[in-house]
Structure 1
Amino acid sequence: MAGRPLAYCMLFFVVPFYTLRPNIRRRSAEYRRRRFGDRGALGQFVDCFKLHMEFGKMLVDRAVMGILGQFSLDASPEDFQTLVDLAAQGRGLILITGHVGCWQLGMSVLNKIDGPKAIVMYNNRKDVDKHYYEHDDGNEHPGFSIIDPRSAMGGTLEMMTVLKQAGLLCIMGDRSFGSTKNVVDVDFMGGTIPLPISAYKLASNLNVPIVVTFSHRTGAGYGRIWISRVIDVPENMGRNAQIYQPYAQCFAKGLEEFTEHHPWQFYNFYNMWEKEE
Structure 2
Amino acid sequence: MSDRSHHWADIGESTSVRGILLLCFVHRWLGRWPFRVCVYPVVFVHWLLNGTARRASRQYLARVHAHLGVPARRPGALQSLYHFAVFAETLLDKILALGQRYPVDKVTMERQGVLARVRAGEGGLLVTAHLGCLELCQVMADQVPGFRLTALVHTAHAERFNRLIRRLDAGSKVELLQVTDLGPADAVKLAERVARGEFVAIAGDRVPVRGGRSVKAPFLGHEAPFPIGAYVLGAALRCPVFTMACTHVGDGYRVRFESFAERIELPRGSRDEALARYAAQFAAWMERQVRDSPYDWFNFYPFWDQVTHDARHE
Q: 1:132 to 1:181 in 2, by over 3 A?
A: closer
% same residue: 19
Q: How does 1:1-277 map to 2 (within 5 A)?
A: 2-21=30-49, 23=51, 24-37=53-66, 43-66=75-98, 69-72=101-104, 74-76=107-109, 79-80=110-111, 82-88=113-119, 92-111=123-142, 112=144, 114=146, 116-125=148-157, 131=161, 134=164, 136-137=166-167, 139=169, 142-150=172-180, 153=183, 155-179=186-210, 181-218=212-249, 222-235=252-265, 237-238=267-268, 240-274=271-305
Given that 2:180 and 2:210 are in contact with CA atoms closer than 8 Å, whether structure 1 keeps it comes out as no
Give 1:169 deviation, angstroms.
Answer: 0.9
Give 1:105 deviation, angstroms.
Answer: 2.6
Deviations 1:193-220 (A, max 9, x none): 1222222223333331111121113355
TM-score, normalization: structure 2?
0.72
Give 1:241 deviation, angstroms.
Answer: 4.2
Unaligned runs of 5+ in 2: 1-28, 308-314
Question: How far apart, CA to CA, are the structure 2 residues paired with 1:216 and 1:28?
Answer: 17
Pairwise CA RMSD: 3.2
Give 1:84 deviation, angstroms.
Answer: 1.6
Letter in 2 for 1:149: V
Unaligned runs of 5+ in 1: none
Further displaced range: 243-252 or 177-186: 177-186
Count residues in correspondence: 267
Give 1:93 deviation, angstroms.
Answer: 0.8
Question: How far apart, CA to CA, are the structure 1 residues paired with 2:168 and 2:215?
Answer: 40
Give 1:22 deviation, angstroms.
Answer: 5.7
Question: How far apart, CA to CA, are the structure 2 residues paired with 1:6 and 1:211?
Answer: 38
Given that 2:244 and 2:255 are in contact with CA atoms closer than 8 Å, whether structure 1 keeps it comes out as yes
Question: How far apart, CA to CA, are the structure 1 residues paired with 2:293 and 2:162?
Answer: 22
Q: 1:67 to 1:235 in 2, by over 3 A?
A: closer
TM-score, normalization: structure 1?
0.81
Further displaced range: 252-261 or 146-155: 146-155
Question: How far apart, CA to CA, are the structure 2 residues paired with 1:164 and 1:66?
Answer: 25
SS at the partner of 2:76?
helix
Q: 1:170 to 1:110 in 2, by over 3 A?
A: farther
